[in-house]
Structure 1
Amino acid sequence: MPADRLLLIIEDDAAFARTLGRSFERRGYTVLLAASQEEAAQHLQQHRPGYAVVDLKLGGNASGLACVQMLHAHDEDMLIVVLTGFASITTAVEAIKLGACQYLAKPSNTDDIEAAFGHVAGVSEVELPARATSIKTLEWERIHEVLVDTDFNISETARRLGMHRRTLARKLEKQRVK
């Protein structure tokens, strides 16, 4: 298989991985799917992908950053894009340091990911957002990050956030503010 069109997708959400894989196959890529770092390592023993899409949070509290590090060590020229539903400056910086060419927040589509493969590091013509992220959006994202960390346990999430459980429940009932 030619490495220039061979794509490795490391994503623990099987439905999302299949959908993304089919979309890339329609664009002429050969796609390999892995749900964990171990599965990805097995693919690397037999194949030499030129591209990789890595989910930042894999099942069982596994980090996609370890996958990025492994992929980059395997092939420094591999173009790696990190996808996450929990974007943060810290993880973005770490992903780039470890060898990712781009870091995208979900939801991202195939066009976004393919454009990210063409991203050149250090380009000064980066599009800046029209406005800063609101406090309500930041709060919403933090609440959901802690919810995931606690396996959606409302009481434990409220305790970790230092708020009353009913207050958290009210906040979760509201629609997301953008």
Structure 2
Amino acid sequence: MENLTQQIGPDPSLLLVDDDEVFVTRLARAMEKRGFRAETSTSVAQAKRQIERSAPAYAVIDLRLEDGNGLDVVEALRERRADARIIVLTGYGAIATAVAAVKMGATDYLAKPADANDVTLALLSSSEGLPPPPENPMSADRVRWEHIQRVYEQCDRNVSETARRLHMHRRTLQRILAKRGPR
């Protein structure tokens, strides 16, 4: 634990931005146990106010928030504190959003589910090489299921519209939605 505190540096301030209050609260507790001084935010507007008040040295920002895009928070933090280490965290990883996040100033990009260990490694990583592979990566079936769920939510839970956008038969989609997600 002491070694980790030395890696964090003199300013352990950390801003966690995610609209899932349960997740962000748990992550904040876990990061505080690792030596960070965590603050949480559940919206773009709230995060921008916190950054204006005091720009943190570290940040973990969800890409999609209820009131906007997490990249707006990345940009606001980068303007106030150029040396901040910023991790963009999202439920669905896509090359285009990863590139956009890095161009906006993010240090790294993590796909959910990411635990406190993954976040800590990403925040404190100093190497420019490839990160180690995840201990428990999502299965291909789980990635597929997550993608279907995301499109379903974006279509306001309309099965017919979701099936049309995913180019699949409506009944097939209904069977998939009726089942539990794979592990």
Asked if these proteins are the same fold (TM beyond 0.5), I'd say yes
Q: Normalized against structure 2, the TM-score is what?
A: 0.81
Q: Do structure 1's residue 46 and structure 2's residue 53 form an aligned pair?
A: yes
Shift of 1:47: 1.3
Shift of 1:167: 1.5
Matches within 5 A, 1:166-177: 166-174=171-179
Q: Which moved more, 1:19-28 or 1:147-156?
A: 147-156
For 1:138 and 1:25, the matched residues in 2 are separated by: 30
Q: Normalized against structure 1, the TM-score is what?
A: 0.83
Q: 1:90 to 1:47 in 2, by over 3 A?
A: same
Q: Which moved more, 1:73-82 or 1:146-155?
A: 146-155
Instruction: Give unmatched runs, 5+ long, in structure 2.
Output: 1-8
How many residues are aligned here? 172
Q: Which residue of 2 aligns with 1:149?
A: 154
Matches within 5 A, 1:54-133: 54-60=61-67, 62-120=68-126, 122-123=128-129, 125-127=130-132
For 2:156 and 2:18, the matched residues in 1 are separated by: 18
For 2:78 and 2:35, the matched residues in 1 are separated by: 23
Partner amino acid, structure 2, of 1:159: R
Q: 1:127 to 1:20 in 2, by over 3 A?
A: closer
Instruction: Give unmatched runs, 5+ long, in structure 1.
Output: none
- Cα RMSD for the two superposed structures: 2.5
Summarize deviations over 1:122-176 as a string: whole Å, max 9, x none: 32x54468xxx98756643432221121233322211222333211112334565
Q: 1:126 to 1:116 in 2, by over 3 A?
A: closer
Q: 1:138 to 1:48 in 2, by over 3 A?
A: closer
Give the secondary structure class of the aligned counterpart of 1:97.
helix
Partner amino acid, structure 2, of 1:101: T
For 1:151 and 1:52, the matched residues in 2 are separated by: 31
For 1:3 and 1:151, the matched residues in 2 are separated by: 46
For 1:135 and 1:25, the matched residues in 2 are separated by: 33
Q: 1:28 to 1:39 in 2, by over 3 A?
A: same
| Contact 1:9/1:21 (8 A) holds in 2 | yes
